[in-house]
Structure 1
Amino acid sequence: MPIAWSQTSPSTVFHADNLTVLPSLPDESFTLIYLDPPFNTGRKQKRQSTTSVRSSAEGAMSAVGAITGFKGQRYERIKGDLLGYDDQFEDYWAFLEPRLIEAWRLLADDGTLYLHLDYREAHYAKVLLDALFGRDCFLNELIWAYDYGAKSKNRWPTKHDTILVYVKNPATYYFDSSTVDREPYMAPGLVTPEKVALGKLPTDVWWHTIVSPTGKEKTGYPTQKPVGILRRIIQASSREGDWVLDFFAGSGTTGAVAASLGRRFVLVDQNPESLTVMRARFAELPEVDFVDAP
Structure 2
Amino acid sequence: MPDHPTDPASDQGVSRIIQGDNLAVLAELADEAFTLIYLDPPFNTGRVQKRQSTTSIRTEAGVGSITGFKGRSYDRIKGDLLAYDDVFENYWEFIEPRLLEAWRLLAPDGTLYLHLDYREAHYAKVLLDALFGRESFLNEIIWAYDYGAKTKSRWPAKHDTILVYVKDPARYYFDSATVDREPYMAPGLVTPEKVAKGKLPTDVWWHTIVSPTGREKTGYPTQKPEGILRRIIQASSREGDWVLDFFAGSGTTGAVAHALGRRFVLVDQNPEAIQVMRTRMPDVPVHGD
TM-score (norm 2): 0.92
Residue identity opposite 2:24 in structure 1: T
CA distance in 2, matches of 1:45, 1:88: 8
CA distance in 1, matches of 2:216, 2:29: 31
Deviation at 1:41, TM superposition (A): 2.0
CA distance in 1, matches of 2:39, 2:66: 21
1:252-267 matches, within 5 Å, as 252-267=251-266
Q: Decide whether aligned partners of structure 1 residues 31 and 84 sit closer, same or farther in structure 2, where only a CA change above 3 A counts.
A: same
Greater shift in the superposed pair: 158-167 or 68-77: 68-77
**Number of residue pairs matched?**
276
Deviation at 1:9, TM superposition (A): 2.7
Q: Does 1:116 align with 2:109?
A: no
* Other-structure match for 2:33: 29
Residue identity opposite 1:9 in structure 2: G
Runs of 4+ residues over 3 Å off in structure 1: 42-46, 67-73
Instruction: Return 5+ residue gaps in structure 2 as ranges.
Output: 1-7
Q: Deviations over 1:191-214 (max 9, x none)?
A: 001000000000000000000111
* Other-structure match for 1:218: 217
The answer (yes or no) to whether the contact 1:7–1:29 under 8 Å persists in 2 is no
* Other-structure match for 1:65: 58
The answer (yes or no) to whether the contact 2:16–2:287 under 8 Å persists in 1 is yes
Q: Does 1:291 align with 2:284?
A: no
1:85-234 matches, within 5 Å, as 85-234=84-233
CA distance in 2, matches of 1:232, 1:111: 16
CA distance in 2, matches of 1:7, 1:242: 16
CA distance in 2, matches of 1:85, 1:278: 39
Query: In structure 2, the residue corresponding to 1:121 is in which secondary structure?
Result: helix
Q: What is the root-mean-square deviation in Å for CA atoms of aligned residues?
A: 1.7
Q: Decide whether aligned partners of structure 1 residues 129 and 146 sit closer, same or farther in structure 2, where only a CA change above 3 A counts.
A: same
The answer (yes or no) to whether the contact 1:247–1:267 under 8 Å persists in 2 is yes
TM-score (norm 1): 0.90
Query: In structure 2, the residue corresponding to 1:84 is in which secondary structure?
Result: helix
Instruction: Return 5+ residue gaps in structure 1 as ranges.
Output: 52-62
CA distance in 2, matches of 1:124, 1:42: 14
Deviation at 1:46, TM superposition (A): 5.7
Query: In structure 2, the residue corresponding to 1:24 is in which secondary structure?
Result: coil
CA distance in 1, matches of 2:82, 2:23: 22
The answer (yes or no) to whether the contact 2:49–2:91 under 8 Å persists in 1 is no
